[in-house]
Amino acid sequence: MDWQLAWDSLGPIVRGAILGTIPLSLISFALGLVLALGIALARMSSIRALSAAARFVISVVRGTPLLVQLFVIFYGLPSLGATIPPWPSAVIAFSINVGGYGAEIIRAAILSVPAGQWEAGYTVGMSRATTLRRIILPQAARVSVPPLSNTFISLLKDTSLASLILVTELFREAQKIAAFSQEFMLLYIEAALVYWVICLGLSALQNLLEKRLDRYVARA
Amino acid sequence: MSHEPESSSPAPGASSSGFGVPPIGSGADPLLRATGLRTSFGSLDVLKGVDLEVRRGKVLVLIGPSGSGKTTVLRALNALTPPQAGVIDLDGERIDFAAKLSKRETAAQRAVLRDASGMVFQHYNLFPHKTVLENVIEGPVIVQKRPRDEAIATATALLERVGLASKRDAYPFELSGGQQQRVGIVRALALRPKLLLFDEPTSALDPEIVGDVLTIMSELAHEGWTMVVVTHELAFAREVADEVAFLDGGVVVERGTPAEVFTNPQEPRTREFLDRLLRPLE
Ligand SMILES: Nc1ncnc2c1ncn2[C@@H]1O[C@H](COP(=O)(O)OP(=O)(O)OP(=O)(O)O)[C@@H](O)[C@H]1O
Ligand SMILES: [Mg+2]
């Protein structure tokens, strides 16, 4: 085992994580959540066309491979005259992906809040929008943290696909060094370990967040 | 329920004698008159033309068998479930549910009803993610845009009045059912509504704490709040109601003073219902 190579390659790989994988995940997740909330509300709208459009987006996102979505945006769109650089392409594809999966999670969470909470909001004089924002969403947030955390962890791992559209991130750094040194096993195991460590950190954060959001719930 | 000594510095909005001055003086004229309320769910006609009158500063108790539409009536009065037809005259404003109106006008009409009333639910429906104080000031601060300090002072005085000053910063799950319902009442009072609606406020409570909540309600009645109360507590109705209305089959079958309705019911259906309520095992 080439320990020197393992040590020397750690720098570029971690840099790939810090400059590529992590910001790509965070930005895509943040945009994706906004999109997810929008799609979830559209899906629950009484306006038929809006709800149908939302259902269509969700169906396409969930029914097609992420890699194909990524390729359509990066390699496909240029033939229609829209050339988007690697980073924005990746952000667009990942955000839409989070939007599609997150929408169903958020919708289920909103529906899980008892109808009496909407009514209590109305009877203190709130509009639908205010009740949603101040009463329903905070309670839905608690319910949706575990599934959304899973979505985030999946996203973080899926950003390795961005290496295929030339985004500099963790896995692409590992690939470059592997090709150069021919130490494939070493480099890919190393990349896997770095992903794993990041995910362990995320799980710890998830636990903290769940504890915080659970402070107003009776413990069984 | 104790009558505690007043705090040395009464909060603004809370009179020194109790739950704050009811927003409107008492009188014999109706605050609310509902005529011909009709509500159906699909093919099920629940309200088939309900007429009601609530006089200022008076207490109307609604009784009737399960499924007779008592909750539906209350939800019509605050437009939680707007009826398909009927008219409500409320303090000089007229809401005609059958009128063809724009979305905006409809919303404005519902707002008139909703802003006029405060509701106390059978299952409290407190906001579980907010503390007791936050539950109470949510409406005054967020909806009515009252200064936060003032809303907190009013809320604190009201909580003290119902013996819950020490629970101000607790979350609802930390309270007993009776305590939660007292917070529910305070949350409604803090809105300073013209009209208080109660939907079986004690029927989810353990028998030994029902009295606490009923005592608060009769104090409110004596202070001149206008109230519509759905309840099966006949002793409470007899003592506190100014008028009792018996609802059955989607209409008000009989109404009158408690003495008239309870001691000398005119309609066989009323008599039957009261018999069953008083002697459930026969
Ligand atoms: N949202 C709804 N959709 C369909 N049916 C409803 C709805 N709300 C009430 N109903 C029906 O309307 C009828 C009257 O209901 P309501 O809740 O007003 O009765 P109630 O007099 O309050 O009864 P209870 O004493 O059991 O509370 C019932 O048959 C009920 O099933
Ligand atoms: Mg009911």
Asked whether residue B14 carries a pLDDT value surpassing 70, the answer given is: no
Low-confidence ranges of chain A (pLDDT < 50): 220
Domains annotated for chain A, with CATH where assigned, are 3-216 (1.10.3720.10)
Domain definitions of chain B by residue range: 30-278
Pocket of ligand 1 contains residue B194 by CB under 6 Å:
no
Contact partners, residue A56, CB within 8 Å, separation at least 6? none
Q: Residue B46 C-alpha to ligand 1 middle, in angstroms?
A: 7
Question: Cβ atoms within 10 A of the Cβ of B36, count?
Answer: 16
Contacts 24+ apart (CB under 8 A), B162-170: B162/B1, B162/B186, B162/B216, B163/B1, B163/B2, B163/B4, B164/B132, B167/B132, B168/B131, B168/B132, B168/B133, B169/B131, B169/B132, B169/B133, B170/B131, B170/B132
Q: Grade residue B21 by pLDDT with cuts at 50, 70 and 90.
A: low
Residue B15 has pLDDT above 50, yes or no: no
- Determine which helix (DSSP H) or strand (DSSP E) holds B268, and give its type and residue range: helix B268-278
Q: Is B221 within 8 Å of chain A by CB? A: no
Surrounding residues of ion ligand 2, Cβ less than 5 A: B 71
Q: Which residue type is seen at A182? A: Q
Looking at chain B, the whole-number percentage of residues with pLDDT higher than 90 is 81
pLDDT in tens, B64-80: 999 999 999 999 999 99
Q: Is the pLDDT of residue B4 over 60?
A: no
- Cα–Cα distance, B269 to B282 (Å, whole number): 17
For B84-105, the pLDDT digits (tens) are 999 999 998 999 999 989 989 9
HSE-CB for B114 with a 13 A CA cutoff: 23
pLDDT at residue B3 greater than cutoff 70:
no
Measure the CA–CA gap between B51 and B83, rounded to whole angstroms.
13
Whether the CB of B156 sits within 6 Å of ligand 1: no
Residues of B163-175 as b/e, b for ≥16 C-beta within 10 angstroms?
Answer: ebeebbebbbeeb
Q: Contacts of residue B143 in chain A, CB cutoff 8 Å?
A: 124-126, 130
Question: Which residue is closest to B192 within chain A, CA to CA?
Answer: A124
Tokens encoding B1: 């329920």
Residue A125 to residue B121, Cβ atoms within 8 A: no
Model confidence at B253: pLDDT above 50: yes
By the CB < 8 Å criterion, does A116 face chain B? Answer: yes
What's the ipTM? 0.88
Specify the higher pLDDT residue, B18 or A135: A135
Dihedral sign of CA atoms A106, A109, A115, A116 in order: negative
pLDDT band at residue B26 using 50, 70 and 90 as cut-offs? low
What is the structure's pLDDT at B13?
Answer: 40
Among the residue ranges B70-84, B100-114, B135-149, the one predicted with the least confidence is: B100-114
CB burial of residue B263 (10 Å; 0-12, 13-18, 19+): exposed
Q: pLDDT grade, residue B25 (50/70/90)?
A: low
CATH 3.40.50.300 correct for B30-278: yes
* Nearest residue, CB atoms, A216 vs list B111, B138, B171: B171
Compute, in angstroms, the gap from residue A122 CA to the centroid of ligand 1.
19
What is the rounded distance in angstroms from the CA atom of residue B250 to the CA atom of residue A160?
Answer: 64
Q: Mapping DSSP to helix (H, G, I), strand (E, B) and coil, where does residue B246 land?
A: strand
Q: Tens digit of pLDDT for each residue in B155-176?
A: 999 999 999 999 999 999 999 9
- Among B71, B113, B125, pick the best mutation site for testing chain A contact (most A Cβ within 10 A): B125
Residue B70 in contact with ligand 1 by CB distance below 6 A: yes
Task: Note the helical H segments in chain A.
Answer: 3-16, 22-44, 48-63, 66-71, 86-112, 115-123, 128-131, 137-158, 170-181, 184-213
Alpha-carbon distance B261 to nearest alpha carbon in chain A (angstroms):
31
Is residue B181 very low, low, confident or very high in pLDDT (cuts 50, 70, 90)?
very high
Question: Can you tell me which residue has the tokens 């398909």?
Answer: B84
pLDDT value at position A218?
63
Q: Pick from B78, B128, B171: which is nearest to A123 by CB?
A: B78
Q: Is the CB of B187 under 6 A from ligand 1?
A: no
Q: Say which residue the tokens 């059912």 belong to.
A: B177
Q: At B246, list the tokens.
A: 């018996």
- Residues 6 or more apart whose Cβ sits within 8 Å of residue B199: B70, B71, B74, B119, B120, B121, B122, B230
